[in-house]
Chain A
Amino acid sequence: MSALADSNQPEAATSRLLTDPSQPGAALGGGDGPVEILGSTVAGVAGPKQPRKARSARPRKPRRTSGTVGLGIGVGLATLYMSIVVLIPLGAVVWRARDGGLGSFWDSVTTPEALAALKLTVSLSIVVGLVNLVMGTLIAWVLVRDSFPGKRVVEMLIDLPFALPTIVAGLVLLSLYGQSSPLHINLAYARSGVLVALLFVTLPFVVRTVQPVLLELDPQIEEAAYSLGAGKATTFRRVLLPSLLPAMLSGAALAFARAMSEFGATVLISGNLPFRTEVSSVYIYNQIENDNMAGAAAVSTLMLLIALVVLICINLLTRWAARRG
């Protein structure tokens, strides 16, 4: 809990998990102390009290103005950079989508192929979220509470799906679960194949959100529950689950968001058969290739909206976790 709670910037914690959950929240504040110290130091900079007094021996008037100007330039540059790379382009997508009015937006989103892709993407992503919810928590529990030879290697391997380029992940899964599978399991060009690819790329999310919370929980609480006669199931449900739930849910939501937007890992194994294995991002890609920019922009806008909703949910979950912590 405190891994998420320690952060006074919930979004920051979340984003680290989006990119690399291998860095537990512990790194953020290193405990409770630094954050508080920080709060006061940051306030010290903003308020005119402490630093001014310290520098009052020297005439510092010019520094103050140059500081304000510098801040302005800094904020301006950061905003400009964000705008050039991210904000204006994303704005252009939404702009392009509503170009022909709401009617044509709706038509583009509800073509049979687009609708089929969207349904497949959402339902696969929900399954991915649920599988990760169970397996991720289980793996995190095993990594924290169990010990076995080679645990450190497993611990490191968990992050591999984040480091491995998505196209390599797709190729790797296709060679194991494709037509020439050494295991004789052929999932190529099937929905189950897409599901496996999505499970691969989302594997670390729940593990890495739950793990730090579990580390903070004292095993003695579980033992106390056992000694008072609670069974395994009761202990999990009444003791572990309440503390783990926010982390589990935000991990699952992150996995859901990633599964919704994944492209590289699914493009090889799915074969991109419209109405069967074509997910939304592949659909968008095909529309771009066919120069149907309006259609691509419409579905993209819908995906952006879904991503936004998920981000807000994750944010609320993080706040919930912080309150409970």
Chain B
Amino acid sequence: MAKISLRVTALTYLLFLLVLPVGVICWRTFDQGLAAFWQALTSPEALHALQITVVVAVPAVLLNTVFGLGTAILLVRHKFWGKSALNALIDLPLAVSPVVAGLALVLVYGRFTPVGTWFYDHGVQVIYALPGMILATVFVSLPLVVRAVAPVVEEIGIEQEQAAWTLGATSVQTFRRVTIPAIRWALAYGMVLALARSLGEFGSVAVVSGNISGQTQTASLFVQDAFDNYNQQAAYAVAFVLAVMAVTSLLLIQLLRPKESRR
């Protein structure tokens, strides 16, 4: 009996906090009909925002993948001065508010800072432009690939790589043919996590992008902008697309994550 009441309590909590809200977004998106949804989604601003989201997220994920892979191997396989400091600092972006992350980047790369001026003189605008948005996205998703890959690098050990070396393989060959295949699922898992985070990032990008409609507006910024301007159908349509991306990545994560049953 007690078990039943606990179950009911837990499920009721989840119903009101999780299931109903997610249900209501589907309802709100489609209550004007499919045509209205489609029209709102294919407006030039919405399409541009979705496009910018991809343009920002993909380079950010790739940068973090290269960094994450390299750093995971460094942290697991090597000893060097400052290792534990690096290890601790990698988690920092997760504890920092996205707004603070945005502010931090503006203070260094803004138009009227020494660094920002240097870039501007060389024809690159960082803040209120794509480079700054990519930088902000890299900031907030920085630890994800490292933390997904490191445990698996640890687990596979180095026997296979040693075997490859003794058989005369070069470092590059060993890395490409032995290390990468062994960690590919963990790498994919980390990349999906990073991609999900990058596609939905709001706070930091809101600060560094300037939120210029049709130029530096990502999909999540578009949602807020459309909602504030009473264009609810557009807000719900783009939010729905973002939610679908989130659920898709959730499914991928479930597929890719190291299985408990493996034990």
Chain A residues packing against B (C-beta within 8 Å): 7, 9, 11-12, 14-16, 18-20, 22-24, 26-31, 34-35, 37-38, 41-42, 44-46, 51, 54-55, 71, 74-75, 77-79, 81-82, 85-90, 92-93, 95-96, 135, 138-139, 141-143, 145-146, 148, 154, 156-161, 163-169, 171-173, 175-176, 182-183, 196, 199-200, 203, 215, 232, 257, 260-264, 267-268, 280-282, 284-285, 288, 293, 296-297, 300, 303-304, 307-308, 310-311
Q: Is B51 an interface residue (CB 8 A)?
A: no
A264 x B203 contact (CB < 8 A): yes
Q: What's the nearest-Cβ distance from chain A to residue B187, in Å?
A: 14
Q: Which of B38-46, B69-77, B176-184 touches A?
A: B69-77
Q: Which residues of chain B from 238 to 263 have a CB within 8 Å of any chain A CB?
A: 239, 242-243, 246-247, 249-250, 253-254, 257-258, 260, 262-263
Name 25 A/B residue pairs within 8 A (Cβ), A-sorted.
Answer: A11-B87, A12-B147, A15-B90, A15-B147, A23-B257, A26-B263, A30-B155, A46-B79, A75-B82, A88-B108, A89-B108, A139-B13, A158-B14, A160-B18, A164-B243, A167-B200, A167-B223, A168-B25, A168-B243, A171-B235, A264-B202, A281-B97, A281-B203, A284-B97, A284-B103
Interface string of B209-235 (1 = CB under 8 A from A): 000000000001101100100000001
Q: Is B135 an interface residue (CB 8 A)?
A: yes
Nearest to A143 among chain B residues (CB) is: B10
Known: A12-B147, A15-B94, A168-B220. A135 touches B203 (CB 8 A): no
How far, in angstroms, from A24 to B21 measured CA to CA in the complex?
Answer: 27
How far, in angstroms, from A41 to B89 measured CA to CA in the complex?
Answer: 25
**A26 partner residues in chain B, CB cutoff 8 A:** 258, 260, 263
B10 x A157 contact (CB < 8 A): no
Nearest to A141 among chain B residues (CB) is: B6
Q: Which residues of chain B from 128 to 144 have a CB within 8 Å of any chain A CB?
A: 135, 138-139, 142-144
Nearest to B144 among chain A residues (CB) is: A19
B253 x A30 contact (CB < 8 A): no
Q: What's the nearest-Cβ distance from chain B to residue A39, in Å?
A: 10
Known: A26-B260, A31-B263, A182-B24. A165 touches B220 (CB 8 A): yes
B199 x A172 contact (CB < 8 A): no
Chain A contact residues: over half helix, strand or loop, or mixed?
Answer: helix
Interface string of B80-101 (1 = CB under 8 A from A): 1010001111111111111111
Which among A20, A30, A51, A196 has the greatest number of chain B C-beta atoms within 10 A? A20
Known: A42-B77, A75-B80, A267-B224. A82 touches B90 (CB 8 A): yes
How far, in angstroms, from A44 to B105 measured CA to CA in the complex?
Answer: 41
How far, in angstroms, from A146 to B19 measured CA to CA in the complex?
Answer: 20
**B196 partner residues in chain A, CB cutoff 8 A:** 163
Known: A28-B151, A54-B162, A139-B13. A90 touches B263 (CB 8 A): no
Among A42, A85, A139, A159, point to the contact of B253 (Cβ < 8 A). Answer: A159
Q: Is B193 an interface residue (CB 8 A)?
A: yes
Among A19, A41, A164, A282, point to the contact of B158 (Cβ < 8 A). Answer: A41
How far, in angstroms, from A44 to B158 measured CA to CA in the complex?
Answer: 9
Chain B residues packing against A (C-beta within 8 Å): 2-3, 6-7, 9-11, 13-14, 17-22, 24-25, 28, 67, 70-71, 73-74, 76-80, 82, 86-109, 135, 138-139, 142-144, 147-148, 150-151, 154-155, 157-159, 162, 165-166, 189, 193, 196-197, 199-203, 206-207, 220-221, 223-224, 227, 235-236, 239, 242-243, 246-247, 249-250, 253-254, 257-258, 260, 262-263
Known: A18-B91, A168-B239. A268 touches B165 (CB 8 A): no
Beyond the given A41-B157, A175-B236, could you list 13 further A-B residue pairs with CB under 8 A, ordered by the A residue number? A11-B88, A15-B147, A19-B147, A29-B151, A78-B67, A141-B10, A142-B7, A160-B246, A168-B220, A281-B203, A282-B99, A285-B99, A300-B97
Nearest to A131 among chain B residues (CB) is: B13
Known: A167-B223, A171-B227. A138 touches B74 (CB 8 A): no
Among B22, B206, B257, point to the contact of A172 (Cβ < 8 A). Answer: B22
A78 x B86 contact (CB < 8 A): yes
Nearest to B186 among chain A residues (CB) is: A27
B250 x A78 contact (CB < 8 A): no
B200 x A285 contact (CB < 8 A): no
Known: A90-B104, A285-B207. A18 touches B95 (CB 8 A): yes
B206 x A15 contact (CB < 8 A): no
Known: A51-B162, A89-B105. A263 touches B17 (CB 8 A): no
